[in-house]
Amino acid sequence: MKNYLAISVPLSKDAHWFNLLRKALSHVNVRWQKGHYHSTIAFMGEMPQASMLQEYFSRQTAPTLTFDKLHAFSTSSEHILCLTSSKPSAAFMSLVLTLREQLIEAKCLPPQDFLLHVTLARIPIKAIALDDLKALIAPICIPSFTMTLTEVKHIIYKGDTIKSWELPL
């Protein structure tokens, strides 16, 4: 059963830079993310043991992460427009990469690279070329902002939350 772990990112869709982004893409067929902004830690095909996740997250504290740039990349069917960090904190990367190693060891996650991003929107590939999309978002200045990320969710793909954890400060 497809499932994933995500760390919640409490973005405001009313932020000035977000309004500028929507205006810049107003003529493009964009499907904006509706709430639950997050960074996916791991997208898995197999369900990990609940006890393993509980033990792991009980030993973690909430990491901080500074966001400072927009990015776009393509999958086989769509472009992903996202927010990211040019210098992710060591605490955030340790939380993510250590957990991913454990999930790979437990055969819940195939070995794959981690791409830190918070999806803001999805755009059909036929709607715009990736280079043109990047050109549209390039002039938008994201003021650097830091957030403490306190919530992790285990979610069934396109379904319900299985469990969530509050990471202490």
Contact (Cβ atoms closer than 8 angstroms) between residue 77 and residue 124? yes
Q: How many Å apart are CA 51 and CA 92, to the nearest integer? A: 22
Q: How many Å apart are CA 51 and CA 119, to the nearest integer? A: 29
Please indicate, yes or no, whether the overall pTM of this predicted structure exceeds 0.75.
yes
Residue spans per domain, the chain? 3-166
Q: Both tokens of residue 157?
A: 């793909």
CA atoms within 13 A on the CB side of 34: 1
Superfamily name and number for 3-166 = Cyclic phosphodiesterase (3.90.1140.10)
- Which residue, among 7, 3, 31, has the nearest Cα to 118 in the 3D structure? 7
The per-residue pLDDT string of the chain (169 residues; one tens digit each, 9 = 90 and over) reads: 899 999 999 999 999 999 999 999 999 999 999 988 999 999 998 999 999 999 999 999 999 999 999 999 999 999 999 999 999 999 999 999 999 999 999 999 999 999 999 999 999 999 999 999 999 999 999 999 999 999 999 999 988 999 999 999 9
Angle, helix 16-24 to helix 130-137, in steps of 10 degrees: 140
Strands (E) located in 18-136: 31-32, 38-44, 64-67, 69-74, 78-84, 118-124
